[in-house]
Amino acid sequence: MIKPISISVKAKSHTNQYKMHKYFARRPYNVFQNLIKHYTKENDLVLDVFCGGGVTVFESVAMNRRSIGVDLNPLATFISKMQLKKVNISTLKVLGNSFINNLEQELSRYYEYNYNCIDYKIEWIEWTYEVSCPLCSTTIRLAEHNKVVSPNGKPKNGYYCCPNQLCGGHDRRTGVKRTDCKSIGSHPLRVKISNGEETVVIDLSDEEASFIKSQRYTHLIEESMVIPDDEIPLNWDRTHEDKLIEKGVYRFSDLYTERNFILNVIIFNRILALKGQIDNDIVDCIYFAFSSSLRYTNKMSRVTENWENGNPTSMDKHAYWLPNVYIEANVIEKFKDRFNVILKGLTYTNEKIPFGSNLISVKESINVCHIGSLNASILHLR
């Protein structure tokens, strides 16, 4: 019998390979290292049947154990596999940067912004939802400054004042309830732009906001493109708890602005077109960067004064939590950022993993009886 662990281990923050892609509920690596070291010896087989973000699998292999990871969620096994990907970093850097340059040439024009006759690049646009007042049908913007004020002087979540002075919902102390209002669209409030020399955040005039709202992107879709259009299952606990139907979100695509959805579709299709053109492992890495960027380019991002020095925080809840004031981030910039994080993460993997020892197998749960051969398909993740 092995004695139980008698010391406590203080959790350390994630190392670079775990920063490549978000997975909720990833465990601290050093706690797992300690468990593996205590309960197993070199060449033992470590099985994690709920492998999630792949910490057990990675740490086992890094300590010369064999390891099997299984998970119901194909995103979990995709991430776990990618964290253990052996790849030539210089080749990845060259091919990834060339892919990014092509994307920039094709798509960066959709984030151009002219301010005081100078060309800038949009980093993000801040939008607020617009709803119709249930009492008088006037448009209400769900911006912070329109919130009802509680007796303690603080803004009251979920209640907004109608701008129509003749409406019963105009009262600053009562307003109207957000869930009683019909959603009608979104309105841009601010834009963050940069041109290499300066970065500014501008409050948009009505005229500038109308121009931004009038831009359409559906004509960029080509007939041959694969368009992910999955519906969010109605019977999911999160669909219910996050009030997605009430907020007009029926499909995953509804979590994006039109521009960001369509530009993401184009990037996705450009990655699919790489298959067969360049090494499959490199395609997987580029796809991994893209998948990792999606968290930052949907409507679950927001900017708050007190967080991240005014930079957006993105999908930070284990839920489809849609803030009433959200950020539309530049998808090309986010893809670039994530690609650089992937380069760092895989460099770490290369240093830590004794490749060649053939110890790794990460499979989807449904294929568990076939454990033994790697069968990664980049289309497992949708």
Give bridge partners of residue 301 from the DSSP assignment.
314
The binder of ligand SAM chosen from 62, 65, 71, 84 (CB under 6 A): 71
**Does 45 interact with ligand SAM (rule: CB under 6 A)?**
no
Of residues 208 through 237, those in contact with ligand SAM by CB under 6 A are: none
Q: Which residue's CB is nearer to ligand SAM, number 19 or number 247?
A: 19
Q: What's the closest the beta carbon of residue 76 comes to ligand SAM, in angstroms? A: 4
The binder of ligand SAM chosen from 14, 19, 26, 352 (CB under 6 A): 26
The binder of Zn ion chosen from 31, 136, 143, 381 (CB under 5 A): 136
Residue number of the CB atom closest to ligand SAM: 52
Q: Which residue's CB is nearer to ligand SAM, number 70 or number 181?
A: 70
- Partner whose binding site includes residue 133, from ligand SAM, Zn ion, none (CB under 5 to 8 Å by kind): Zn ion
**Does 11 interact with ligand SAM (rule: CB under 6 A)?**
no
Give bridge partners of residue 147 from the DSSP assignment.
160
Count of other CB atoms within 10 angstroms of residue 342? 27
3-class DSSP state for residue 12?
coil
Measured over all CA atoms, what is the biggest interatomic distance in the chain, rounded to whole angstroms? Answer: 78
Give the whole-angstrom CA distance, residue 98 versus residue 95. Answer: 5
Q: Which residue's CB is nearer to ligand SAM, number 43 or number 367?
A: 367
- Partner whose binding site includes residue 169, from Zn ion, ligand SAM, none (CB under 5 to 8 Å by kind): Zn ion
Part in contact with ligand SAM (CB under 6 A); list of ranges 50-58, 116-124, 209-217, 249-257: 50-58
Q: What's the closest the beta carbon of residue 123 comes to ligand SAM, in angstroms? A: 32
Identity of the residue numbered 351: E
> Backbone phi, then psi, for 330, in 5-degree steps?
-70, 115
Q: Which residue's CB is nearer to Zn ion, number 74 or number 134?
A: 134
Q: What's the closest the beta carbon of residue 166 comes to Zn ion, in angstroms? A: 8
**Does 73 interact with ligand SAM (rule: CB under 6 A)?**
yes
Q: What's the closest the beta carbon of residue 162 comes to Zn ion, in angstroms? A: 3
The binder of ligand SAM chosen from 39, 50, 236, 307 (CB under 6 A): 50
> Backbone phi, then psi, for 125, in 5-degree steps?
-120, 135
Give the whole-angstrom CA distance, residue 300 versus residue 371. Answer: 36
Q: Which residue's CB is nearer to ligand SAM, number 53 or number 169?
A: 53
Compute CA distances 106 → 69, 122, 267, 306, whole Å: 39, 16, 10, 36
HSE-up of 1 (CA within 13 Å, CB side)?
3
Part in contact with ligand SAM (CB under 6 A); list of ranges 49-57, 189-197, 241-249, 304-312: 49-57
Return the structure tokens found at 28. 């601290």
User: Crossing angle of helices 89-107/280-293, nearest 10°?
Assistant: 50
**Does 92 interact with Zn ion (rule: CB under 5 A)?**
no
The binder of Zn ion chosen from 169, 175, 188, 345 (CB under 5 A): 169
The binder of Zn ion chosen from 91, 97, 164, 311 (CB under 5 A): 164
Part in contact with ligand SAM (CB under 6 A); list of ranges 24-32, 100-108, 185-193, 221-229: 24-32
Q: Which residue's CB is nearer to ligand SAM, number 56 or number 264?
A: 56
Could you tell me where the beta strands, DSSP code E, fall in the chain? 45-48, 66-71, 112-115, 118-132, 139-141, 147-149, 155-160, 176-177, 182-194, 199-203, 301-302, 313-314, 325-329, 360-364
Of residues 331 through 370, those in contact with ligand SAM by CB under 6 A are: 365
The binder of Zn ion chosen from 92, 103, 125, 162 (CB under 5 A): 162
**Does 139 interact with Zn ion (rule: CB under 5 A)?**
no
Strand order in the sheet with 45-48: 45-48, 66-71, 360-364
Give the whole-angstrom CA distance, residue 28 versus residue 34. Answer: 10
> Backbone phi, then psi, for 20, in 5-degree steps?
-70, -35
Q: Which residue's CB is nearer to Zn ion, number 136 or number 221?
A: 136
Give the whole-angstrom CA distance, residue 158 versus residue 267. Answer: 36
Q: What's the closest the beta carbon of residue 126 comes to Zn ion, in angstroms? A: 24
13-52 burial, b if ≥16 CB within 10 A, otherwise e? ebbbbbbbbbbeebbbbbbbbbbbeeebeeeeebebeebb
Contact residues toward Zn ion (CB under 5 A) are: 133, 135-136, 138, 162, 164, 167, 169
